Amino acid sequence: MHPPGQNTNIAIFPFLFSRFPSLPAIVLTTAGLLFPIISFSQAPDRYTVSGYVSDASSGERLIGATVAERKSGQGTVTNTYGFFSLTLPADSVLIYVTYIGYEPQAFSFLLKDNPVLNVNLHSSAVLKEVEIVADKYERIEERAQMSRIDVPIEQIKRVPAILGEKDVLKALQLLPGVASGGEGQAGLYVRGGSPDQNLILLDGVPVYNASHLFGFFSVFNTDAIKDVSLTKGGFPARYGGRLSSVVEINMKEGNENEFHGEGSISTVASKLTLEGPIQKGKSSFIVSGRRTYIDVLARPLIKSGFKSDGSDGVAGYYFYDLNAKVNHRFSDKDRLYLSFYTGKDKFYLDLEERDEYGGERNEYTTNSGLGWGNLTSALRWNHLLSPRLFANTTLTYSRYRFDTKAASGDKEFENGNLLDESSYSLHYFSGIDDVAAKVDFDFVPNPRHLVKFGANAIVHTFSPGRFETKIIETEDDTNISTVIGQPKINATEVALYAEDDWKVTDRFRVNYGLHASGFLVKNNPYFSLQPRLNARYMLDRGWALKGAFSTMRQYIHLLTNETIGLPTDLWLPTTEIVKPQDSWQAALGVAKSIGKAYEFSAEAYYKEMKNVIAFQEGASLFQFDDWQTRVSQGDGTAYGLELFLQKKKGRLNGWVGYTLSWAWRQFDDINQGARYPYKFDRRHDFEVTGSYKISERVSVAATWVFSTGNAVTLGTSKYQTPDPLDNGYYYGDWVTTHTPERNNYRYRSYNRLDVGVDFTKKKKRYERTWSVGAYNAYNRKNPFFILLDTDYEYVNGQTTERSVLKQISLFPVIPYVSYSFKF
Amino acid sequence: MRYILFLFIISAGFASCSEDFFSQTLDIDPPEYEKQFVVHGFGTNQDSSFQLALTQNYGILENVPDSAWAVPGATVVIFEDGQLKATLGISPDNQKVYEALVLPDFFQPGKIYELKASHPDFPTVTSRQTMPQPVAVDSVRFRENAGIDGDGSRLSAMDVYLKDEAGVENFYEIRMAIFYPILEFTYDSLGNTIIDTIGYQNFALAAVDSDDPNAELTYGGGIAISDRFFDGQSYKFAARMEEISGYTFRVYVRAITEEYYLWGVSAERKYQTDDFPLAEPVTTYTNLDHGIGVFGLAHEQAFDVE
């Protein structure tokens, strides 16, 4: 067989510099200084095979497909955009392209120049039915990088979820090293880090608030997602800007050959996704939307409720997401993507009341709303500069807004004439806007090296919170408008990186690199150099010994309430007072593929964090003075052991994870300067999730989780403090609680079983699935918060009071049913 | 049909559950605690007597009885530089506190005072303080129109100009009071009201804040600052209060111990946020071994300001 579409080679660097005279030159110079390997020239008797691997039916690029030459044993895997490059000796070659779940393809030809090999793999019907989840990724013991987990989206879709709403972040919470927040929350606490230390990227664009409905759902619609990965340590140099993790979520590209759709109707929301070709084989689109409808269904009831109270009104809540993406292939070398996401949550209340007495009439109106949401967009250009140099240039815009409004009005009429009018309104607004540009290069000088280098720049605009109030009263001509808040802050963040994935020997492989970053805010510059290292040594019997070291820096901070996912998240920059957060992390572990279906890894890690941010004692989000005066900066330490066994293939697939961990915080002005356990310090965290395909039509899934309870601060005793002024004015005698230290009390352990059954049937034109299941199937009363309360008892006409400590749980057993279809 | 049957079985299963099954509240055991003394004792060089509130803590589900102020039968002593200085007994005038008449040379700057309270039913508590040196105050001035607070209300301020001693860690606190006239209302034979000032009452004023970002409110209406922001320098330290004028103010400028400062700041934060569940928790500082509360000393100077 001969490769389709052979091309002649193009000189790399002259072309590059003629098209991009400045930035790549800088990047290449940096990379050249760091990596002598880049200067390797191609020997005249070696040629490079390059191209893309795609799904034949949809045209979707396949990430992580294996491309290997049989005789030399040289091989590589496709990158995030499905691109590969393999340099081989001039000879006859036999190249296999494999991707489990797809029929492998082989290409045999005489290598005498630099051919382009674009491969369309056909899915294997038999394999796809049986091997539910494909092994799309490089085998765990092969890669140098550790602490990274790829979770196939098919597997995420099979995890039973609350109200049947499949959720990416909830699935990631089931991985070792990742703790959830409170009951039902979508927040991620990775290796003792806080939620602001996670870089969540949707098609490469940061998503600042990934939660709907106070964290009970995440903003990611699984129908529009192609793949998900979590990196919690051993960060390669290309990542930066956050201390604890990188969550990469890539949207599907859209089927470029046929029109398809899928959708679902569940207890809480409905979804519809459509995809298809715009120009067959060249361009495609995908559009996906999701909306809750409890507000629409409940509207008549709510209106009638207000009516019975003598008013006209409506109240409700909804959220929606809209994902869209188009792409066009201009040539074998150029492809353009435009992706877009917007989502919003909104609570609203609109009321009107009217009183009439004789000729007098009063009208009262109340309008209030609470809204928050993200918008992200990315324009991406993939360009093949040469068979060995791939470039990805991206322009992005990202926005998060929190907005609340409350207004009331009062009109007084006499005999139909307006006598007086008054109105009060309050508007609070905060948010962050990012405009960013980045360029990333993949350079394959020879089969033993994969060099990645690039640069990015982000212009942040922070809106730290602004109150606008307006009071109008016609009776005394009052017209007051006040604005309290802090002005917008602009900051620029830049980064340069270079890394080399080097197969030193067949046993020893290393990924090393350097990430350099800078931040400029109000003429205060900050710089950081962050070395990164991942190494793997193949032991006997297929075991890989892995080690990693990375340093990270974070320039932006999040002020948030960690109890529930309030949308009042306030993203703020490093300033002259509030310093950037830094961390270093070291990890050591082993990994092995067991048979063809299982992957096992064990990792021990130690992480230190500097200048982590927290509210001062007694402070809260509900203060509107300078935020810098309400925060403290201190240290964090986390260490632990993670065990992970994953099965991605077969009728039964899923994973088992266990984490033994410790997480500490120390601030000079919190807990009297003493170290204390982090709220999400979990000594034990165990999770098992799996699905089993009983037949073509029926599959079952279950998840069980167990974890040590959260650490919380609870008074152990109480006492009376004397009135310091001794006059009863202001203070009086005051009974307060004694808390010996921060986070001194543990909630009882958390455990939960979720179960689900899918009934699938292929119809003539479409396939439908009924899903039924239950969240918290054995109705465990898991702690949400604890409360010191008073119970009253009435005995023989006497009322007695009794103080009680109550644990409040949020979710009892919650059954769900949903209907989904695809065509 | 079979799905409907399936759902019916599930629904029937739920219907058979007891009311407790759906309850999301669970009574839990309170945390264990150790019965301890609670001490609040504040000494100054101005005191004519030294009083100490010596109470005890209770479990969080127990009631704190109003009548159980001073723990009876305790032995409470104060040592000065290692020598027994005073033994305290329950005050005959106020059963809430232990009291010792203060000798003229009590609470001398630079001397070390140790409090010890013991009782068979409680662990013995001890606490040690070194009496601070007096602060050099240049002047104290009243300032009108000192800005507005978060609600838009006008504020007045008391500016204290002081000189800090270099190389020593000092903590300063301002407390304020007004001489409030005690009025007597009488009526003459024509029914006119006659108002007589029959005396003055020293009425404590609580500080609202400071325009100094490094200052912290302290429990009891004071405001305090650490000299780490101005070590060895002359400094203007301001306390702001609600707009007030037309009175004679008494301003107490105090050099306080670090422990007193830490307790005062943490106790005030705790007081301000005790009923607000979304505020970050506060751990109140204590300098008592095996006890709760504070034994704090302050060197105090009083200034009358018009």
Q: What is the pLDDT of residue A40?
A: 45
Q: How far is A681 from chain B (nearest CA, A)?
A: 17
Say which of A563, A617, A802 has its CB closest to residue B266: A617
CB A316 within 8 A of CB A345: no
What is the Cα–Cα distance from A634 to A666, expressed in whole angstroms? 6
Is B21's CB within 8 Å of A717's CB? no
CB within 8 A of A429, min separation 6: which ones?
A401, A402, A403, A404, A463, A465, A466, A468
Q: Report residue A777 as tokens.
A: 């199937």
DSSP A272-337: EEEEEEEETTTEEEEEEEEEE-HHHHHHHHHHHHHHHTTEEEEEEEEEEEEEEEEEEE-SSSEEEE
Paired tokens of A604: 């021990």
| Under 8 Å between Cβ of A278 and A284 | yes
- A119 vs B79: CA distance, rounded Å: 89
- CB-CB under 8 Å, B58 with A717: yes
> Could you give the maximum distance between any two Cα atoms of chain A, in Å?
102
DSSP helix/strand/coil, A18: helix
d(CA A429, CA A115): 56
The pTM score is 0.84
* CA A480 – CA A472 distance, rounded (Å): 7
Q: What is the nearest CA distance from B44 to chain A, expressed in angstroms?
A: 14
Which of B36, B226, B282 is the best substitution to test chain A (most A C-beta atoms within 10 A)? B282
Q: What are the residues whose beta carbons fall under 8 Å from the beta carbon of A75, sequence distance 6 or more? A: A66, A67, A68, A69, A86, A447
A804 with B61: Cβ contact below 8 A:
yes
Give the CB-side neighbour count of residue A504, counting CA atoms within 13 A: 12
Residue A407 tokens read as 């207004």
Q: For A16, left (φ over 0), alpha (ψ -120 to 50), or beta?
A: alpha
Question: According to the model, what pLDDT value does residue A468 have?
Answer: 83
Alpha carbons A322 and A290: distance in angstroms, whole number = 7
**Which one-letter DSSP state was computed for residue B91?**
-
Partner-chain contact B33 A716, CB within 8 Å: yes
How close A295 gets to chain B, by Cα (Å)?
Answer: 25
Angstroms from B294 CA to nearest CA on chain A? 11
Question: What's at B60, amino acid-wise?
Answer: I
Residues in chain B predicted with pLDDT less than 50, given as ranges, are 1
Cβ A563–B274 below 8 Å, yes or no? no
> What's chain A's length in residues?
823
Per-residue pLDDT at B25: 84
Q: Do B57 and A736 touch (CB under 8 A)?
A: no
Decide: A369 and A426 in contact? Cβ < 8 Å: no
* Domains located in chain B, CATH noted: 37-130 (2.60.40.10), 136-281+299-305 (2.60.40)
Backbone angles phi, psi at A168, to 5 degrees: -65, -50
| Residue B139 backbone dihedrals phi, psi, to 5 degrees | -160, 160
Buried b (16+ CB within 10 A) or exposed e, A378-403: bebebbbbbbbbbbbbbebebbbbbb
Q: How far apart are CA A47 and CA A40, in angstroms?
A: 14
Write phi, then psi, for B160 (nearest 5 degrees): -110, 120
Angle between the N-to-C axes of helices A12-19 and A23-34, in degrees from 0 to 180, rounded to the nearest 10: 140
Domain architecture of chain A: domains with CATH: 12-130 (2.60.40.1120), 148-710+747-822 (2.40.170.20)
Give the distance from residue B247's alpha carbon to the nearest chain A alpha carbon, in angstroms: 19
Backbone angles phi, psi at A470, to 5 degrees: -140, 130
Start-to-end C-alpha separation, chain A = 34
- Supply the pLDDT for residue A4: 41
Query: Which residues of B fall within a CB distance of 8 Å from A813?
Result: 14
Cβ contact (<8 Å) for B219 and A714? no
Which residues in chain B have Cβ-Cβ distances shorter than 8 Å to A619? 279-280
User: What is the pLDDT at residue A638?
Assistant: 97
| Contact across the interface for A720 and B38, Cβ inside 8 Å | yes
Contact A83, A63 (CB under 8 A): no
- Residues of chain A short of pLDDT 50, as ranges, are 1-42, 126-136, 727-728
Question: In whole angstroms, what is the distance from residue A782 CA to residue A773 CA?
Answer: 19
Closest partner CB to B276 (pick from A482, A620, A724): A620
- Site of tokens 């098919």: A154
Rg, C-alpha atoms of chain B: 26
Substitution target in A621, A679, A714, A720 with the highest count of B β-carbons within 10 Å is A720
Cβ distance of A622 and B27 shorter than 8 Å: no
Give CA separation, A358 vs A309, A310, A415, A418, in Å. Answer: 21, 18, 9, 15
- The structure tokens listed for A672 are 């009297």
Q: For residue B263, give both structure tokens.
A: 């307790």
